[in-house]
Amino acid sequence: MSIQGELAATIEDLIQPGQGILAADESHPTIAKRFTAVGVESSEEKRREYRSLILSAPGLGEFISGVILFEETLGQNSLDDIPIPQLLENQRIVPGIKVDKGKKPLINAPGDEITFGLDGLDDRLEIFKNRGARFAKWRDVFHISDTLPSRQAVEANAEVLARYAALCQSMGIVPIVEPEVLIDGGHSIDRCADVSKTVLREVFIALARHRVQLEHMILKPSMVTPGKESAKATPEEVAEATISVFRQVVPAAVPGINFLSGGQTPEEATLNLNAMNCLGNQPWALSFSYGRALQEPAQKAWAGRLENGPAAQEAILKRARLNGAARAGTYSPEMEA
Ligand code: 5MM
């Protein structure tokens, strides 16, 4: 298949009605934090047990079209000794891979960060593709304060995100472009809207500069919300603020917007996505690419015990099903019961 054919086929497989993406790409420090919260010490074997359990939940493929894996998981076998990428393909789920190498302070820009990982990325992508990954993910983060993010951070992060996306496409790998405006802080929803607009505008300028084909990428942004130390907005307010910003700065050629949950509770993330899909037709498919909001209940149910596997599988399946409904705007809180 040609490169263009590969990209188109992967986009088609990923963007399906009633489906979204599961982000299971926590780096070692992040997964250790999640495991500690449920009383489990993180080790390679425990990570394999947990991820193998949730990824083999029967019926997951009905609601999940793709899974973003961490490098370690891409090379592991499931508890039944099936290579994880194969396990996913067996459920018609597209395997993906997180390729950024994390973030560090941006020099001469106090408080801002920059994402690393471009060096040697072409060689790594080739290896990941040979192991079965058909899409990739790179995450930039932007802090909000009265003065952050700086112009420097907005431009530098947009540039690396665009270079990553162009490289992925040249190798037949669909890039997920993730500019996360962090929820930390006491800012208002209007301030988040302003920062999100500035960041997204710059990201699309950089994508155009690097000739990224918008038809063959997925945007994974944060929703427009107040900071977590401010009073919460209603799902309708979040939906209206988010869609209003996105209609101004996200080109219609982008096929799908798969939101991250960014510290929202599982129920909030579902309600907010549902409210957006209740606002009528938009140029893009509006779906999810949640990490915490899909996995938190499953991690609690598992609590490090293999015998809790079926309960963990049921928990992730429930959140996947409810977010699948939110993808169509047909979720209601009564469905939680
Ligand atoms: C699952 O967490 C991902 C990896 O984060 P680290 O590299 O910091 O460990 C993260 O990129 C995630 O894919 C997105 O933030 C979405 O996850 P949430 O939990 O925000 O929905």
Of ligand 1's atoms, which has the minimum distance to the CA of residue 30?
Answer: 9
The 8-class DSSP code of residue 306 comes to G
CA separation (Å) from 284 to 16, 197, 287? Answer: 12, 17, 9
Q: What percent of the chain has pLDDT over 70?
A: 100
Mutating to test ligand 1, I would choose from 21, 22, 28, 30 the residue with most ligand atoms within 8 A of its C-beta, which is 30
Taking only the tens place, the pLDDT of each residue in 260-311 is 999 999 999 999 999 999 999 999 999 999 999 999 999 999 999 999 999 9
Residue nearest to atom 13 of ligand 1 (CA): 23
| Cα of 47 from ligand 1 centre, angstroms | 16
**Catalytic residue IDs:** 178, 220
**CA atoms within 13 Å, Cβ hemisphere of 248:** 14
* Residue 110 CB neighbour total at 10 angstroms: 10
pLDDT at 133: 98
Taking only the tens place, the pLDDT of each residue in 174-232 is 999 999 999 999 999 999 999 999 999 999 999 999 999 999 999 999 999 999 999 99
Residue nearest to atom 7 of ligand 1 (CA): 27
- Between CA 175 and CA 22 the distance in angstroms is 15
Classify the phi-psi angles of 297: left when phi > 0, otherwise alpha if psi is within -120 to 50, otherwise beta: alpha
Query: Which amino acid is located at 337 in the chain?
Result: A
Rg over alpha carbons for the chain, rounded to the nearest Å, is 19
| Cα of 1 from ligand 1 centre, angstroms | 32
Classify the phi-psi angles of 43: left when phi > 0, otherwise alpha if psi is within -120 to 50, otherwise beta: beta
Q: CA nearest 182: which of 190, 173, 192, 172?
A: 192
- Give the pocket of ligand 1 (CB within 6 Å): 23, 25-27, 30, 68, 102, 139, 180, 260-262, 290-293
- Between CA 312 and CA 154 the distance in angstroms is 39
What average pLDDT does range 31-55 have in this prediction?
98
Contact by Cβ (8 Å): 70, 80: no
pLDDT at 51: 98
CA separation (Å) from 3 to 11, 135, 137, 145? Answer: 12, 13, 18, 42
> Which two tokens mark 325?
């409904």
In the chain, domain spans = 3-19+98-288+308-336
pLDDT at 98: 98
pLDDT at 308: 98
> Which two tokens mark 334?
């009564």
Of ligand 1's atoms, which has the minimum distance to the CA of residue 259?
Answer: 21
pLDDT at 92: 98
pLDDT at 182: 98
pLDDT at 171: 98
Contact by Cβ (8 Å): 202, 155: yes
DSSP 50-63: HHHHHHT-TTGGGT
pLDDT at 276: 98
DSSP 87-138: HHHHTT-EEEEE----EEEPTTSTT-EEE---TTHHHHHHHHHHTT--EEEE
| Global model pTM greater than 0.95 | yes
What is the average pLDDT value for the chain, to the nearest integer?
Answer: 98
Taking only the tens place, the pLDDT of each residue in 65-101 is 999 999 999 999 999 999 999 999 999 999 999 999 9
What average pLDDT does range 141-156 have in this prediction?
98
The 8-class DSSP code of residue 221 comes to P
Taking only the tens place, the pLDDT of each residue in 8-34 is 999 999 999 999 999 999 999 999 999
pLDDT at 101: 98
What average pLDDT does range 161-179 have in this prediction?
99
CA separation (Å) from 67 to 55, 101, 192, 274? Answer: 9, 18, 28, 21
Which residue intervals of the chain are DSSP H helices?
3-14, 28-37, 44-55, 71-74, 84-90, 121-130, 151-170, 189-209, 235-249, 266-277, 292-302, 309-326
Taking only the tens place, the pLDDT of each residue in 90-132 is 999 999 999 999 999 999 999 999 999 999 999 999 999 999 9
CATH architecture of 3-19+98-288+308-336: Alpha-Beta Barrel (3.20)
User: What crossing angle do the helices spanning 292-302 and 28-37 adopt, rounded to 10°?
Assistant: 50
Q: CA nearest 177: which of 281, 111, 92, 96?
A: 96
pLDDT at 124: 98
Instruction: Dihedral sign for Cα 321, 323, 329, 332, please.
Output: positive
Strand, helix or coil for residue 218: strand
Contact by Cβ (8 Å): 57, 83: no
